[in-house]
Structure 1
Amino acid sequence: MTRNVRITLHPSFDVLAATTAARLITRLLDVQSERGEATVVLTGGSVGIATLTAIAQSPARLAVDWAKVNFWFGDDRFVAADSPDRNAGQAAAALLDHIDADPARVHVMAASDQVADLAAAAADYTAQLAAAARLEWENDDDAASATEPTVPRFDVLLLGLGPDAHIASLFPEMAGIRTAGVPVVGVVNSPKPPPLRVSLTLEAINSAQEIWIVAAGADKAAAVGLGLAGANPVQVPASGARGLAKTLWLLDQDAAAKVPEQLMRREQYSR
């Protein structure tokens, strides 16, 4: 399957966050118009949370039926539920607490004070994904004869990008980026604290219809360049992220400084 990759540049961090917010609102509206509900996978990080804040501040957010949006997370830190490090808590403060989200549709990864250990947290999120996928599968007449999926349909999956090119909590050369056959992995010895995390695997990430990689700052430029140049995903996890229908790299000017020139001459390319 051809997977279109598009690069979009923005002049600053603030413009990147605001434009990504507007783009996501529009995409959710389009999906809801077609299917009645929509599903988005959220990310943390400075740009990810700034994007959620921009959505909460946008008058256009009122057009979305937030009660029919399913929210998932690409990863989270395995710390106490009230820790400020939690992506779930940051997302709630930035957006989820300010919209009419259905609590039953907000799927968070278990915290360290909610389950016995990291393996239990990964198993819990695996079960949440499977239950949602099974419900979709059972209600889809066209899919009745297909193999039951392990993850639901992700319409848009947001990813931040680390200076080392990690995405979600999949770090270069570590076990998480190599994990296959399961949708969720427990991450130990993360090179970025805190050391324990829960993350979608690359297989689960790449099941999304659209993947949006959002990056800002000169410290991300090398990772962006390597990711777009097609480096090995084990060394450069971002290079392995490919949406089923589309992959968007949403960048500010600083983050785009090392994008290969031949790619910058075209808004879209296929590989």
Structure 2
Amino acid sequence: MIAPLVEVHADAAALATSVAGELLVRLADAQEAGRDPQIVLTGGTIADALHHELARLSPGSEVDWTRVVVWWGDERFVAADSPDRNAGQARRAFLDAVGATQVHEMPSTDDGADVEAAASAFADVIHQHGSDEFEVVMLGLGPDGHVASLFPGFPQLEVDDRVAVGVTGSPKPPPERISLTFGALNRSRALWVIASGDGKAEAVAAALDVEGTVHDTPARGAHGRHETTYFLDREAASHL
């Protein structure tokens, strides 16, 4: 496994701008090479800032968003119009503005299935429309070290025969979620963990420590095939 890279920025705003710019470069390069890149988005405060920067910077880039296939690492299993949904946030912040057309949202409670059936249905969508690997997977990092909806000590950390799983009893609301597994997340050319604020500093340090377990700090189990990078602001990096 390639050791993670660490890139530190002055503050959350600089972090969001840098990651947005780097993503646009990666997508343009992939399209120039003849690929239709597939990416995995995340949710949260820093993701929202990143998405607004993508909306601002995309008009000056060479990215054709109609050729970008969009997925999410996890989603809250709530109503489709719930403000808690990562997909709704991303659509409002940038996806609709840049004209993305190949957008695969995870199921909602409106679809009438329970969370496990919904995860299974989404796995079928990935098998149908996914590629051999994602171009870039972006993950937020919880203060407890979780990524996507893979929480410390939860059985989903051990799942290796499915690409998507249902999660119940989430330690942070809402309690039901759908998450990609490590087997899916790690099928990526580049995997980026993006963290901002001193509330994430201990989790960042635990994730990058030479010692530790995935069960204690799930972020340790997330890595790309060619690159794993932690994009941090100074506060998130303060315990390194």
TM superposition score category, shorter chain reference:
over 0.9
Counterpart residue number, 1:232: 213
**Which residue does the alignment assign to 1:178?**
158
Which of the residues 195, 213, 216 maps onto 1:215? 195
Q: How does 1:1-271 map to 2 (within 5 A)?
A: 2-58=1-57, 61-102=60-101, 105-133=102-130, 136=131, 152-230=132-210, 231-259=212-240
What is the one-letter code of the residue matched to 2:100?
A: A
CA distance in 1, matches of 2:181, 2:58: 35
Alignment partners' CA distance in 2, 1:206 and 1:158? 11
Q: What residue identity is the alignment partner of 2:238?
A: A
Return the letter of the residue paired with 2:99: D
RMSD in angstroms over aligned alpha carbons? 1.2
Aligned length: 239
- Larger Rg computed on CA atoms: 1
Which string of whole-angstrom CA distances, capped at 9 and with x for unpartnered residues, describes residues 54-86 of structure 1? 110115554210000000100000000000000
Is this contact kept in 2: 1:78–1:198, CA < 8 A? yes
For the residue of structure 2 that corresponds to 1:18, the secondary structure is helix
For 1:258 and 1:67, the matched residues in 2 are separated by: 40
**Alpha-carbon distance, 1:180 to partner:** 1.9
Deviation per CA, 1:128-177, whole angstroms, max 9, x where unpaired?
Answer: 111124xx5xxxxxxxxxxxxxxx42000000000000000000001222
**Structure 2 vs 1, CA of residues 194 and 59 (structure 1 numbering), >3 Å: closer, same or farther?**
closer
Between the aligned partners of 1:127 and 1:204, the Cα distance in structure 2 is 13
Question: How much does 1:255 deviate?
Answer: 0.4
User: SS state of the match for residue 160, structure 2?
Assistant: coil
TM-score (norm 1): 0.85
Please, which runs of 5 or more residues in structure 2 have no aligned partner? none
Separation in structure 1 between the aligned mates of residue 35 and residue 204 of structure 2, nearest angstrom:
35
Q: Secondary structure at the match of 1:51?
A: helix
Contact kept? 1:55, 1:61, Cα under 8 Å? no
SS of the equivalent of 1:180 reads coil
For the Cα contact (< 8 Å) 2:77–2:176, is it kept in 1? yes
Runs of 4+ in 1 over 6 A off after TM superposition: none
**Percent identity over the alignment?**
41
* AA at the equivalent of 2:167: V
